[in-house]
Structure 1
């Protein structure tokens, strides 16, 4: 189940999979952007009917106050507790990430930097295969912490024209200003251009499918964006002393995100790859979302390296979204690694804990972009301006 890739020979390298622009996706998105720019809300309602089978002429494009109240009533108590706890953790995390203003007076010159929140931010939360109240918290909370005055959230409607109660509950509790029932490229266009009901924003954040990513790519410059998200990625580095079942479950947990997800087991021991492969076969038989997991694991790799120094080089070449270090001394290996979106140390630090916000944001760089970018941070929601004042003399 793990395809063996032997990199022990000198000169062999493993590089990140770079996203390719699909001409069909490019043209479809281009048409959608043009239509939203010209037609506004009308095309959003039309496309909700086509893509989501939702009649927004009946329920409305924007979420109303009473819908938030219904969502709070319908969200189970234990789920509300979990969402509230996640919001609080995200507040604590992102409060540490804001730059500070400073001033200096020297030789008759007063100068410094001031920090100001972005005027309006758009947060995209996917629909489709799963439910993402966690993505609401990951994108909205840092905006609130940064002091952004207007936060617009777009997410696809269900077939009855409503948004799932847990998503709405999270949106309200996190501090969203407006929620619009629209998804895909049309949602990105609506936030970038503004429509009759959806305010124009200055920056758009949040993960999405190929159409959402392509819309962000085409609109970059018209509006600020966080990143061009690709399929989810996980690299695990381990030696011979590891529980194969633990490793298999970590790989499956990432594979179930997306049929295009990429997982890598990097090790110095060929026997580990064989043991984890066997454990994977057993675990997959009991896994949910089997079709997605099977498709993702078809692209998984068991990567053989010469030693841990070579493993660090392979990790830096991949620049994976997630890196899990399963070694006796993970901190020592951490010192040798330069690039990864988020890093998890030890067998008890499973990556899904990061996905649900134990102490990190799950909006992370993919497709090798961790080489030059970071995960979503509160500092992404502010601007820093230089200020200079000179005296007459």
Structure 2
């Protein structure tokens, strides 16, 4: 019997899985945690854009200080780097050093499928390493340097080869709240001053379950971006408990992880763009319906910011500041009761005050 088939366990319905996910993701209540501990607890935060992790932590932590995360980035205790699913994640330095080797197979497959067959990725990476370690480079600067060595290869192709072959990090001030600095990269070894320390797949899978469980093997593979995790799950099985979802699939979990009663109230929460909350399961029904997923996930790869009502995605939001006026626009997917609207408005008002303290005016606008 494979780990995907597993053994039957108690059935967990959609609301039970929802409340478990919210508890793991620190969204049933705000928590008084150091920022770096929260980032590690969440198994990293997806960060294609620099600002969403700040907003995600604001929704999860008590009295979140935007400057604390910025300081952690400047001090090189957290970094933005390509990891799970081949996407940029904000992770602790420790996780960055441990997890890249575990996600490298995904990048190797990407190199094989998207790069010219005759291109020597290792040679391109070896040429790029001293260039990047001599000083962080933007993509344009790296393209220009590499074109001198491979004039007949498209420059963008060379940069993709470097990203697959080298463990790069985006350096500060890029990623610091309020900074508009251009993205520049160097190697993780240069930025952190030490070599990678590859972790164990079992430990990474346990971290996933702690942050996103109960989950199937396919869920874990979807979050990680790699295959063959059934073998890892089988090795962990004696340490885990099993459940069954409403479709008969086996769910694995840590014995002592929180699994709240499905009737536990869930407060309104504003979840930012690209948040792993909606991205880390093959079956996302525990947090968003398929109808709403099609509105939140755009064709060009943008994952819009969402409003949680009673624990589930019930709308989208967007905040911006122009000419000292900070505005947060809310687009509910269906009418909400007056009390819920007031709760959304109160949460949005607090977010505007904390995220845009220099604004002279703030407003929350609801779409019809």
Q: Which has the larger radius of gyration?
A: 1
